[in-house]
A and B are shown apart, each in its own frame.
Chain A
Amino acid sequence: MMKRLIIILALVAIALGFFPLAMRISGDSGLTALATHYVEAGAEELGAANLVTSVVVSYRGLDTLGEVMVLFTATTGVTALLVSGKSRSHKKEQESEHDSVGRREGSELLATGAAFLFPILILFGIYIFLNGHLTPGGGFQGGVVLASAFLLLLFSDCRLELNHALLKRAEAISGAAYVAVGLLGLWLAGGFLDPRFLPAGEFGQLFSAGAIPIIYILIGIKVGSELTGIVDAMRRCS
């Protein structure tokens, strides 16, 4: 009973800390000064129609780089904890012994549907991160759709062996290329991760907004391969 009381007191303390913030924030106060600058100047400076994209990739590009690093560390941790070289082949023998103990085969509907939907989902994911600077979307959403395509394949055939070398290489090359594009911005344009070293182009076209599409393509490939790696490490048949 004492513990519950202390937890309730802690929640009341958090509420007391949160209350002044809630009273100060209201929808009528308009945009902050920083947001006003982004809205007024962002479209001409960077040429991207989607303002959230230009904030994520360029104005707060270092946060995105940090996020990519955190995702990489988490994927490495999951893979290190759950997959070891010997246990993979031993797991295959163990599962073939337990085949008679309640393993359900994937149905034919699932197998056919997955084989049909897989290229469409990959195309959809690539479309999302290619058009990230024009419509809502971007690298993270496209990467997650790519990982969902692989997840669908894993559901239909549980014993599927993904090409781990290809996944690792895709993740490593896209991560290194992202930092290389940032360094190119340092060398050719205003600063690290400045996407203006490519021409801004015409507003609203696919090849516009400098290097923002390139950065989002790299982020999309990296997030997609990392999430596929996480799902593959955690998957469990039967």
Chain B
Amino acid sequence: MSQLMLVLFGLVMLVGAVAALYLKDTVSAILAAGSVSLVASLVYLLLGAPDVAMTEAAIGSALTTVVFLFSWSRIQHRSQSSKSPLAEKTDTNPEEQEDHQL
């Protein structure tokens, strides 16, 4: 019985992994990667490791997804603000230049 559940979870994880790498929309890919972590935490529970399951559910599927979405939103907003008409006002601002120095 638990072997059947394990095979099912494995299939869901593999489909989620393929979706995470090959979906065009990046937000959907990030959510697919989060779902892989979530099902992995179920697998850890079946394997008798509840500490690891708690940690993976909290970190892998919550914090990692949030960190990915925050950084994607930063990248999107920056590429959008460079196309908006307000950009000319801020691009000539000299304090903006220090952002480009690593």
What separation, in Å, do the CA atoms of A238 and B95 have in the docked complex?
22
Closest-CB distance, B78 to chain A (whole angstroms): 10
* B residues contacting the other copy or chain, number (CB 8 A): 26
What separation, in Å, do the CA atoms of A131 and B73 have in the docked complex?
37
Question: Closest residue to B73 on the A side, CB-wise?
Answer: A236
CB–CB B77/A86 < 8 A: no
Question: Closest residue to A136 on the B side, CB-wise?
Answer: B50
State the majority secondary structure of interface residues on A.
helix
* List of B residues within 8 angstroms of A227 by Cβ: 63
* List of B residues within 8 angstroms of A47 by Cβ: none
* List of A residues within 8 angstroms of B11 by Cβ: none
Query: In residues 39-66 of chain B, which contact A (Cβ within 8 Å)?
Result: 49-51, 54-55, 58-59, 62-63, 66
CB–CB A137/B54 < 8 A: yes
CB–CB A147/B71 < 8 A: no
Interface status of A141 (Cβ within 8 A of chain B): yes
CB–CB B86/A98 < 8 A: yes
What separation, in Å, do the CA atoms of A200 and B58 have in the docked complex?
31
Please give the residue numbers on chain A whose beta carbons come within 8 Å of chain B beta carbons, in ascending order: 50, 52-53, 84, 86-87, 90, 94, 97-98, 101, 136-138, 140-141, 144-145, 147-148, 151, 227, 230-231, 234-236, 238
Please give the residue numbers on chain B whose beta carbons come within 8 Å of chain A beta carbons, in ascending order: 49-51, 54-55, 58-59, 62-63, 66-67, 70-71, 73-74, 77, 81, 84, 86, 89-90, 93, 95-96, 98-99
8 sample A-B contacts, Cβ–Cβ < 8 Å, listed by A number: A52-B51, A97-B89, A97-B90, A136-B50, A231-B67, A236-B71, A236-B74, A238-B77
